[in-house]
């Protein structure tokens, strides 16, 4: 089993059961105990599970203040992010003026886009590059380029957003909480995301199921203002709190 698939399987099992043992994972995944212990250490170092003696337990409603680098975030939930991105790309119509947030899941949306007369604004440098390679009309916000997430932020970017009125906006988030809404670790990125939600006729949060119950440092939008697009149905309270909810992989879970 590939490392990425094994890590995803471990996370899914921990989140589903609440706790797992090394022996249980060794038997289920048919790998050595040493491999499982390394995997659990990897996931624990990234705040995705609690490593305990003999296994791991799930983390729920945990607070995360840090931001993982783009290359690191690409590792986990790749299939889920691809499905979310493909579904979101299907919403784009030729008459749309679309904002696409920086992030790994929104990049899957860009990858899934076909030929269209829609216009795009993005805060992601890599996103802008791929959009123009596809021959699509793309604008990038001006401002400070943030390392790690490769997102454009700052006063200049906020000022540029004032001129725009989006028909649709697609955003990423580090956490989805019933109480705190959509959250992200960075204050400047939160300012961009929050303003985009206000400037869009329809805002979509593209979030895989691992984001639910997580809270990062800064809230940027209440759930009532966005449509949550995810791969697995969360608890019913999220459906009631969000503007709407779309599940793109439920039949596979």
**Best CATH choice for the domain 3-59 from the list 3.30.70.360, 1.10.10.60, 3.50.30.50, 1.10.10.10:** 1.10.10.10
Residue 231: predicted pLDDT:
95
H or E segment and range at residue 158: helix 155-161
* 230 DSSP β-pair partners: 247
Q: What residue spans in the chain does CATH classification 3.40.50.1360 cover?
A: 70-252
Other beta carbons within 10 Å of 170: 31
Structure tokens at 234: 């969360």
Q: Are strands 166-171 and 200-206 parallel, antiparallel or unpaired?
A: parallel
| Burial (0-12, 13-18, 19+ Cβ within 10 Å), 237 | exposed
> Model-level pTM?
0.74
Looking at residue 77, its pLDDT comes to 82
Q: Give the per-residue pLDDT at 122.
A: 98
Decide if domain 70-252 falls under CATH 3.40.50.1360. Answer: yes
| Mean pLDDT by groups of 10 residues along the chain of 253 residues | 75 82 92 92 78 81 48 68 97 98 96 98 97 98 86 91 97 94 92 96 95 90 98 92 91 44
- Which of these, 216, 187, 182, 204, lies nearest to 248 by C-alpha position? 204
CA dist 37 and 55 (Å) reads: 8
* Spatial CB neighbours of 236, under 8 Å, sequence gap ≥ 6: none
Give the per-residue pLDDT at 70: 46
């Amino acid at each position: 089993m590939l490392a990425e698939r094994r890590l995803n399987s471990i996370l899914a099992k921990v989140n589903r059961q609440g706790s797992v043992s090394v022996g249980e994972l060794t038997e289920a995944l048919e790998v050595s105990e040493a491999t499982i212990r390394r995997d659990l250490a990897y996931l624990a170092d990234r705040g995705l599970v609690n490593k305990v003696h003999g296994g791991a337990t799930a983390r729920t409603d945990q607070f995360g203040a840090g931001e993982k680098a783009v290359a690191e975030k690409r590792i986990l939930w790749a299939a889920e992010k691809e499905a979310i991105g493909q579904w979101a790309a299907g919403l784009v119509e030729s008459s749309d003026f679309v904002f696409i947030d920086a992030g790994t899941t929104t990049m899957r949306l860009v990858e899934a886009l076909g030929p269209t007369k829609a216009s795009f604004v993005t805060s992601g440098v890599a996103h802008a590059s791929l959009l123009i390679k596809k021959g699509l009309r793309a604008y990038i916000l001006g401002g400070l380029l943030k390392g790690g997430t490769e997102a454009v932020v700052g006063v200049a970017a906020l000022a540029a957003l004032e001129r725009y009125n989006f028909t649709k906006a697609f955003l990423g988030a580090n956490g989805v909480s019933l109480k705190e809404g959509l959250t992200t670790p960075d204050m400047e990125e939160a300012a961009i995301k929050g303003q985009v939600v206000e400037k869009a006729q329809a805002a979509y949060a593209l979030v895989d199921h691992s984001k639910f119950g997580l809270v990062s440092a800064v809230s940027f939008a209440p759930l009532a203002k966005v449509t949550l697009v995810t791969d697995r149905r969360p608890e019913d309270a999220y459906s009631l709190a969000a503007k709407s909810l779309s599940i793109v992989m439920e039949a596979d879970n």
